[in-house]
């Protein structure tokens, strides 16, 4: 497990890379090491939140299915990172967009996740768009 000393000078971009790599590896000790003890995870679409490192690790560990992820895009500035993640569970594909903030030690202080679903385009704009 990565100790908080190791992370003292880590910038948040590297922490977030470790966060996703350890989630994909189901390495929950390393995953916990990327998190502030009072981390807050928020899902605005369901108005849910999970408070604290222990519950949040459990929330991820219990998540069902043989899911796999890859980072599609990452944008980082000091103290803030956003990732666009491509998830697969069997043949199903999903996107997740996650806004991270960091604490003074470069650990994850908050994560706000969005899970956008496919939908049918509204009528009336066919003259301007292409489908792919």
Residues that bind a second copy (CB under 8 A): 43-51, 55, 58-59, 62, 73, 75-77, 80-82, 84, 95, 97, 99, 114-121, 125, 128-132
Structure tokens at 120: 């049918």
As a whole number of angstroms, the distance between CA 85 and CA 19 comes to: 12
Q: State the residue for tokens 């992820």.
A: 69
Q: How far is the CB of 48 from a second copy (least distance, A)?
A: 4
Nearer to a second copy, 104 or 128 (CB): 128
Nearer to a second copy, 4 or 94 (CB): 94
The vertex-67 CA angle with 43 and 93, nearest 5°, equals 75
Nearer to a second copy, 6 or 54 (CB): 54
Q: How far is the CB of 88 from a second copy (least distance, A)?
A: 15
Q: How far is the CB of 92 from a second copy (least distance, A)?
A: 14
The strand pair at 108-114 and 35-43 is best described as: parallel
As a whole number of angstroms, the distance between CA 21 and CA 74 comes to: 14
């Amino acid at each position: 497990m990565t100790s908080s000393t190791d992370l003292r000078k880590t910038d948040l971009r590297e922490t977030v890379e470790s966060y996703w790599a350890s989630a994909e590896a189901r390495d929950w000790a390393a995953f916990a090491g990327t998190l502030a003890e009072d981390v807050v995870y928020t899902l605005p679409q369901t108005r849910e939140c999970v408070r604290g490192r222990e519950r949040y690790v459990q929330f991820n560990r219990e998540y069902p299915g043989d899911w796999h992820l890859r980072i599609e895009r990452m944008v980082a500035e000091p103290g803030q990172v956003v990732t666009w993640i491509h998830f697969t569970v069997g043949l199903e594909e999903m996107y997740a967009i996650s806004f991270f903030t960091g604490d003074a030690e470069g650990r994850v202080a908050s994560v706000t996740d969005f899970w956008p679903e496919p939908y049918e385009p509204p009528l009336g704009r066919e003259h301007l768009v292409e489908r792919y």
